[in-house]
Structure 1
Amino acid sequence: MWWSKTMTLKKLTISISFLAALGACAPESRYTTLGGRDAGADALHGGFGYATANNVKVMSISERLEYIKSLTRLFASEAPATINFAFDSAKLDANAQAQLRQQAQWILAHPDITFRVFGHADKVGSNAYNQRLGKRRAQAAVNYLIAQGVDRRKVEAVVSFGETRPLVLTQGRSRENRRTVTEVKGFYNPANDGLLDGKYARGIYRRYVGEGDNTQVSSNQ
């Protein structure tokens, strides 16, 4: 009985000391998740497995966002990401069509990546009207890309910014502001229900920036 009580007390003391050490290891303001909670906070409530999963998730999201930013810059350096429109029009002129064909070639050459197209307008007219016009422009660009063979599941026209993000600060007509912009949205991984793990993303990114041209990328990596 005495031995049992002594061992129980020792175990309790070790457990308390270990939990106190965990609290001391994480400065209050350095390791914060995207949701505003401390990384590892679930260790005291849901078991250490929850804390590990939480921290891995945070790192994976941050890593994924960096990959997307890098790939967007790469896309814009190799294809014309922006096309422009005539005043009060969502019609694609010959120059816009040529630029979209270049976009389509790049997208088709990179089947692991998904894209989104943002629409914009100049400040002539009401904001509500320009929101609709920007969306029509984005949809026109997407429809043309699909006509060039791009899988409709890999490109989408997202909500229009209308006149709210001008490149040229003017209340008058501006061709530079009448535009659509194509950006990388994320990674296409249907074999894993659209989910992306960091290893898969890293393989895609390295292949596209020339660091691993011979790497075999699959959802089973």
Structure 2
Amino acid sequence: MGQMIKYAALIGLSLTAAACEYEAGEPLDRSVFGNATNSNAAVMAGERDFAIQLATRFAEEVPTTITFAFDSAQLDGNARAVLDQQAHWIRQFPEVRFRVFGHTDAVGSASYNKSLGLRRARAAVNYLVSRGISRSRLQAVVSFGETQPLIPTSDRERRNRRTVTEVSGFLKRHPTVLDGKYAQVIYREYIESAVPRTSLTSERSIKTTLE
């Protein structure tokens, strides 16, 4: 019994020490508490661009970059597979626009590489269009040529021969979330998340059977 009391006392002292790390009235550790609320407040106050939030999410959920063979704007199998993933993500967000940036390595003249980067960007855009994405949502294609290498080198470097797809904004730009565009995205996903996975699986099975 005495040992149990001693053990309980030690636990109590540990908890008290942990609780006393912060003085009464000291602000909460914002790295742990209130992140969601702070983010929502920032969006509603116009302090954070919701397009940037979606851009971050896009970059986290799908590969944004494809690469090319030397002096080529042809899409290989890996590039098409990545663009298929991008197209799937883009179809889920009909309110959002995207931009494709083309890049090259440093081999060749600056003017030629500018043109080559543009051809690569157009190749990516054309493929996305072929996968059902409206061209009006692919806001522009831009070529940086050889000016923004991932790997600083004057030699051939595949990682520099690339296109990058990014979120560029909503179909109708508006300075605040009150335009409803971002709200529509969140609401749609909220509704879909409430459907049990088993129900979705059953619906797909029924649909497949009927087809």
TM-score (norm 2): 0.64
- Look up the match of 1:149: 132
Alignment size in residue pairs: 146
Higher RCO (CA-CA < 8 Å; seq separation 6+): 2
CA gap of 1:91–1:157, structure 2 versus 1, over 3 A, is farther
- Look up the match of 2:106: 123
| CA deviation after TM superposition for structure 1 residue 157, in Å | 3.9
CA gap of 1:133–1:205, structure 2 versus 1, over 3 A, is same
- Look up the match of 2:177: 198
The residue correspondences of 1:112-191 to structure 2 (distance < 5 A) are 112-188=95-171
Cα RMSD after superposing both structures:
2.0
Secondary structure at 2:159's aligned position in 1? coil
Distance across 1 between alignment mates of 2:96 and 2:150: 27
The residue correspondences of 1:1-221 to structure 2 (distance < 5 A) are 60=46, 63=48, 66-188=49-171, 194-196=172-174, 197-199=176-178, 200-204=180-184, 206-207=186-187, 213-214=190-191
Are the aligned partners of 1:130 and 1:163 in contact in 2 as well (CA < 8 Å)?
yes
Structure 1 segments, 4+ long, off by >2 Å, are 156-159, 194-198, 204-208
Name stretches of at least 5 consecutive residues in structure 2 with no aligned partner: 1-44, 193-211
Secondary structure at 2:164's aligned position in 1? strand
TM-score (norm 1): 0.61
Secondary structure at 2:142's aligned position in 1? coil
Distance across 2 between alignment mates of 1:72 and 1:105: 15
Are the aligned partners of 1:67 and 1:205 in contact in 2 as well (CA < 8 Å)?
no
Distance across 2 between alignment mates of 1:207 and 1:115: 21
Distance across 2 between alignment mates of 1:195 and 1:95: 33
Are the aligned partners of 2:106 and 2:155 in contact in 1 as well (CA < 8 Å)?
yes
Secondary structure at 1:159's aligned position in 2? strand
| Identity, % of aligned positions | 50
